[in-house]
Amino acid sequence: MPVYEGNTIEEATTKGLHTLNLSKEDVEINVIADAKKGFLGFGKKLAQVSIEPTVSEQISEAIDETVEDIIVTDEEVKVEAAVEELLADKISDSDSSEPKVLENLEDEEAITELAMYLTTISKELNAPALVRLERKDGLLVFHLDTDKQGILIGKHGKVLNALQYLAQVFVHRVAVNKLSVVVNVGDYREKRQAILQRLAERTAEKVKQTGRPVFLEPMPAFERKQIHFTLSKDEAIKTHSEGDEPYRYLVVEPAKKHF
C-alpha cells in the first residue's frame, strides 16, 4: 500500500491525492504517523499516510478495463441519453411500443420477434447490427455484430445494460414461457465475466478487512447471480440485492456483525 509523506498530515494527504489523481471521496486515508518537530533539528519526522482507492473507485477502474479501447464520442454520449430516455419510458409507461398482438408467443416465435426488436433499436441508435443467437447454459445470448461497438456498449457498459433490460422486458411480455436472455456486443460479456470474478474476490476481502458492507454498482440480474454464486462459498460473507430494476444492485456484507 503506497505511503505518502509531508510536513503535516494534510500535506502528505494532498501529495498522495495528487499522485493518484483522486479526491478524498474516492479513497480511504489511514494515518501511519503524525509529524514530529524534533529538538534542535534532531529527531524530526515527517507525517505519513497510506491512501487506498475505495472499492467503488476500484470497481470503476475494473470496469474501465473492458472499454479501455473505446473512445466515447459526443455521438455516443447522445446515444446513452437516448437509451436512458427509452428506458425511462418503458419503466413509467405500462403501454409498450410493441403491437398488442405480440403476446403468448411460443419460444421460437418470441425469439424471432426479439431479434427483430433489437435490430430495429440498433438502427435507431445509428449503430445497425446483425443479430446472432447463441444458446448457452440455458441462456439465449443475442450477439449484436456491428462496426460501432462503442455506441452499443457505452461507457462502463451503460448502453448495453439498458439494451439488456429492454430485451428482457420485451421477451417477458410477448413469450408464453419465461426465457432468460443476454445481449452481448463483441466480447464485452466475456471480459466482464472475468472482471466480475475479480470484483467479487476483491470486495469480499474489503468487507472482511473493514467489517462494513459494500454496495456495488447496479448490474443485470445474471451478473448479480454470478457474484452471489462466487461469494456463496465464503462463510464470512453474505450477499443480497436491493433496489428496483434496472437499477438493482448487490450488497456484500459480513455474515456476522462484530461489536
pLDDT value, residue 39: 58
Q: Are 73 and 133 in the same domain?
A: yes
Q: Which stretch of 6-15, 55-64, 157-166 has the lowest confidence by average pLDDT?
A: 55-64
What would the DSSP string read from start to end of 112-174?
HHHHHHHHHHHHHTT---EEEEEEETTEEEEEEE-S-HHHHH-GGGHHHHHHHHHHHHHHHHH
In whole angstroms, how far apart are CA 87 and each of 96, 162, 220, 259?
A: 11, 7, 14, 43
Backbone φ, ψ for residue 241 (5° rounding)? -105, 150
pLDDT value, residue 54: 60
CATH number at residue 121: 3.30.300.20
Give exposure, 152-167, as e/b (b: 16+ Cβ within 10 Å): bbbebbbbbbbbbbbb
pLDDT value, residue 136: 86
Q: Which domain-ending residue is among 14, 34, 53?
A: 53
Confidence of residue 96 (pLDDT cuts 50, 70, 90): very low
- Helices then strands (H, E): number in the chain? 8, 9
Q: Domain for residue 44, yes or no? A: yes
pLDDT value, residue 193: 84
H or E element: which one contains 27? strand 27-33
Please determine, for residue 69, whether its predicted confidence score (pLDDT) is greater than 50. no
Q: Which residue type, as a one-letter code, is found at position 21?
A: N
Q: Provide the domain limits for residue 201.
A: 196-254
Mean pLDDT of 149-175: 87
Q: Domain for residue 59, yes or no? A: no
Mean pLDDT of 152-166: 86
Give dist(CA 174, CA 177) in Å, integer.
9
pLDDT value, residue 98: 45
Confidence of residue 259 (pLDDT cuts 50, 70, 90): very low
Mean pLDDT of 1-16: 81
Mean pLDDT of 137-159: 88
Number of domains in the chain: 3
Q: Are 117 and 206 in the same domain?
A: no
What's the mean per-residue pLDDT of the chain? Answer: 79
Confidence of residue 42 (pLDDT cuts 50, 70, 90): low
Q: Which stretch of 83-97, 105-119, 196-210 has the lowest confidence by average pLDDT?
A: 83-97
Confidence of residue 40 (pLDDT cuts 50, 70, 90): low
The answer to whether the CB of 248 falls within 8 A of the CB of 218 is yes
Name 254's bridge partners: 237
- Tell the residue number behind the cell numbers 472499454, with chain if given: 67
Q: Domain for residue 259, yes or no? A: no
H or E element: which one contains 208? helix 188-210
Q: Are 17 and 69 in the same domain?
A: no
Q: Are 175 and 201 in the same domain?
A: no
